[in-house]
Structure 1
Amino acid sequence: MSAALSAIADDHDAAALEFLMKAIVHDQLGPADAVLRLVDREVAEPAAGEVRIRVAVSGVNPTDWKARTGLYGGDAVESVPNQDGAGIIDAVGPGVDEFAVGDRVWVTLAAYGRPASGTAQEYTVVPVERVFALPDNASFELGASIGIPAITAHRALTVAEGGPTRLAPGALEGKVVLVAGGAGAVGHAAIQLARWAGATVIATVSPTKTAYAEAAGAHHVVNYQDADAASQIRAVAPDGVDLVVEVAIGANNELDLAVLRPRGTIAIYANNGDKPFTVDVGQNMGLNARYQFVLLYSVGWQFLTAAAEDINTALKANALPVGTPAGLPLHHYPLSETAAAHQSVESSTTGKVLINIADL
């Protein structure tokens, strides 16, 4: 090859590399260390109504490993994991007026219906409605931590009959909220949002996790294993709890009904432990109780958008901190160790697992 042709080829190779990025993918369902792999992928261009984000931090949630293992069913297709993340707008598609290149943002449900758009990669392209401005006082690690946990918590706190549909200071004034599993990511966000909105917050945890719920801001923390747990909660709320944010309904339903006020609501976003959930019709009728199930994938974009707006208001007020002093330890991994990050979440590590992708 002549020197001139060699130079042209070198320039072409260099240009091609500019459009490649590092990404984690899997095209099979199974264990993280068996199916996740680091590859080079082309950087896609945003279409109309889409934006491209240079990802700084990707957040890992239980839903991510559950999807990867096939717990939700479906066929194996090449996918990039992780729904949540934060970074900087790198490009905007036609018709996008909400953001400009360089804007700091957080994103949620990035991979919902879009297997290639997960946040475990250097760049992701997503519909603009899944992207929200990241307040200047919020770090990228905070932006990657809020998504699914905080929106789930917001939804759970706004489903009670006669209760607020939006959260703001005073919205839950005079209400008593019980947060089951107050040391988890959703429980942590529920404690913080409920307290910011003016509620009296009670959290139930195992005895080794009391400090996490206290640091998050719970006014009262109860060991759910105590034989007199219901009495302890009733001592704080003699008329009963207005709303329960529930992570393990099968295991906790008896306690929830023992402390729920008439016409109270139990918002269920998980059933950790998988103990079967059975409904005592008579007891629930006597209370006129309401069960509300919460799953973000089908909740409706209008509720997701409203939640994100309220969450950003809380972020600006520094009401949703993360990290050990705030009761949610952060565990950092590089992109190349995404499998270990998934395994950490799958083993129920206390705290928030984050994947650091770029130092922006």
Structure 2
Amino acid sequence: MKAIVYRATGDPSVLELVDREIRDPGRGEARVRIMVSAVNPTDWKSRRGTKPGEPLPFAEVVPNQDGAGVVDAVGPGVEHLNVGDRVWLALAAYQRADGGTAQEFAVLPAERVFPLPENAGFDLGASLGVPAVTAHRTLTIAEDGPRRLHPGSLDGKVVLVAGGAGAVGHAAIQLAKWAGAVVITTVSGPAKAALVSAAGADHVINYRETHAAAAIRRIAPNGVDQIVEVAPAQNAELDLAVIRNRGSVAVYANNGGDQLSLDVRRHFSLNVRYQFVLLYTVGMAAVQAAAEDINAAIVDGALPVGEAAGLPLHRFDLADTAAAHTAVEESIVGKVLIDVSAG
């Protein structure tokens, strides 16, 4: 089979197309014929490391955490999957040499493999994983908010999604709307404003053209309930200016810097909760709960992808995985997908 591997950290040129043997799944594992792989920022960050040439935990690594395909074989002890099932994957490459989705067949723990609803295509399935599960987590951490999402679970809540044109922001807008929230999002320009509007945001604020805090307060005079935050270092003052008493800020990325300065006294007075979200260590129980809710949203038609839905798709062939990684690393707007196997 064809696979992409890298043997040391570095720029996209370390990615290599090779032939590998197809491995049989072991106990608790499933083998999936990958139809579509997806590239997330976490994929290129793992590949690049902190400097070129760092040693890897394995001799070679197959990249990419997300994808969708068809179950090809199951190992002993796997009861919730059958050969022929259409599925989507999450955390496929986490702590594994050969689990990544940039290959024709991936073997990974069956607990990371989820049924793909009949009304969903492989493009949607591959676009879930990191973005959708992360978005679900950011919406379920509030002190007085829901732990699971379903229609009505966020009724009466106001959610602010920072940088809503990204993949996580896109999924957060869609899931929050499906759950009944009023969604405000901030963007940097008109092109991104059009995308978040297509995703379903109720209010779109271009922070380069208006005073964002004042605009948000006009929409939510009592403050917003939950903030989905991509750039905490840049947005800490804005978040504090618009959060309500006992509101929550869920931080899932470090865009704009690693150091965050908070006014302790002002946060004290509002009982603000900060929750940092990293999918790798959130625990499989949270991932599996998110997958169930995400699938319910898919069945309801709440998570479409594509430009008309606010998330443009950019396609690459497996042999061009390096170019796909480059596109994500250069902050292309939309979702980068890799066509792995023919339909």
Same fold (TM over 0.5): yes
User: Could you say what secondary structure the match of 2:128 adopts?
Assistant: helix
Q: How does 1:218-233 map to 2 (within 5 A)?
A: 218-233=201-216
Write the mapping of 1:56-71 to structure 2, written as runs, cut at 5 A. Answer: 56-71=35-50
Aligned pair 1:290/2:251, yes or no? Answer: no
Q: Does the alignment pair 1:24 with 2:1? A: no
Inter-partner Cα distance in structure 2 for 1:71 and 1:116: 22
Which of the numbers 339, 344, 347 marks the counterpart of 2:322?
339
User: Which residue of 143, 148, 167 corresponds with 1:161?
Assistant: 143
> 2:179 corresponds to which letter in structure 1?
A
Match of 2:91 in 1: 109
**Greater percentage in helix:** 1
Asked whether 1:38 is paired with 2:21, we answer no
Counterparts of 1:104 and 1:192, CA distance in 2 = 23
User: What is the CA distance between 1:99 and its match in structure 2?
Assistant: 1.0
Asked whether the equivalents of residues 30 and 68 of structure 1 are also in contact (C-alpha less than 8 Å), the reply is yes
Structure 2-normalised TM-score? Answer: 0.97
Question: What's 2:334 paired with?
Answer: 351
Q: Deviations over 1:124-148 (max 9, x none)?
A: 0011100000001100010000110
Aligned pairs, number:
339
Contact 1:249–1:277 (CA under 8 A) maintained in structure 2: yes
Amino acid at match of 2:286: F
Find out whether 1:172 has 2:154 as its counterpart. Answer: yes
Distance 1:318 1:173 in 2: 19
Question: Alpha carbon RMSD of aligned pairs, Å?
Answer: 1.2
1:259 aligns with 2:242: yes
Give the alignment of 1:43-54 within 5 angstroms: 43-54=22-33
The residue aligned with 1:91 is 73
Question: Counterpart of 1:339 in structure 2: which amino acid?
Answer: A
Residue 175 (structure 2) pairs with residue 193 (structure 1): yes
Matches within 5 A, 1:271-286: 271-274=254-257, 276-286=259-269
Residues 180-202 of structure 1, C-alpha deviations (whole Å, 9 max, x = no match): 00000000000000000000000
For residues 45 and 257 of structure 2, what CA distance do their matches in structure 1 show? 14
Deviation at 1:227, TM superposition (A): 4.7
Q: Return closer, same or farther for 1:23/1:101 CA change in 2, 3 Å cut-off.
A: same
CA displacement at 1:72 relative to structure 2: 9.7
2:98 match: secondary structure: helix
Q: Is the 8 A contact 1:82 1:120 kept in 2?
A: yes
Task: Give the letter for the 1:197 counterpart.
Answer: A
Query: Which AA in structure 2 matches 1:174?
Result: G
Determine the structure 2 residue equivalent to 1:7: none
Tell which structure's C-alpha radius of gyration is larger: 1
Q: Distance in 2 between matches of 1:24 and 1:173?
A: 45
Distance in structure 2 (CA, Å) of the matches to 1:79 and 1:318: 35
Partner of 1:309: 292
Match of 1:203 in 2: 185
In the alignment, is the contact (CA less than 8 A) between 2:10 and 2:51 conserved in 1? Answer: no
- Stretches of structure 2 lacking an aligned partner (at least 5 in a row): none
Task: Point out where structure 1 has 5 or more consecutive residues left out of the alignment.
Answer: 1-20
Q: Aligned pair in 2 of structure 1 residues 275, 108: CA closer, same or farther (>3 Å)?
A: closer
Match of 1:329 in 2: 312
- 1:216–1:72: structure 2 CA closer, same or farther, 3 Å change rule? farther
Which residue in the other structure is 1:15 paired with? none
What letter matches 1:305 in structure 2?
Q
Corresponding letter in the other structure for 1:232? A
Q: Does 1:320 align with 2:300?
A: no
User: Which deviates more from structure 2 when the two are superposed, residues 267-276 or residues 88-97?
Assistant: 267-276
TM-score (norm: length of structure 1): 0.92
Q: What's the offset of the Cα at 1:115? A: 2.0
- Contact 2:9/2:51 (<8 A) preserved: no
Q: Secondary structure at the match of 2:228?
A: strand
Work out the CA distance in 1 between the residues paired with 2:63 and 2:109.
17
Deviation at 1:224, TM superposition (A): 2.1
In the other structure, the counterpart of 2:133 is 151
- The 2-side partners of 1:295 and 1:85 are apart by 19
Q: What is the CA distance between 1:279 and its match in structure 2?
A: 1.2
Letter in 2 for 1:36: L
Partner of 1:123: 105
The aligned counterpart of 1:239 is 222
Match of 1:253, SS? helix
Q: Distance in 1 between matches of 2:150 and 2:51?
A: 34
What is the distance in 2 between the residues matched to 1:150 and 1:193? 8
Closer/same/farther in 2, CA of residues 169 and 71 from structure 1, 3 Å limit: farther
Amino acid at match of 1:51: A
Kindly tell me: are residues 310 and 282 of structure 1, through their superposed partners in 2, closer, same or farther at Cα, counting changes over 3 Å?
Answer: same
Cα pair 1:66 1:72 within 8 Å, conserved: no
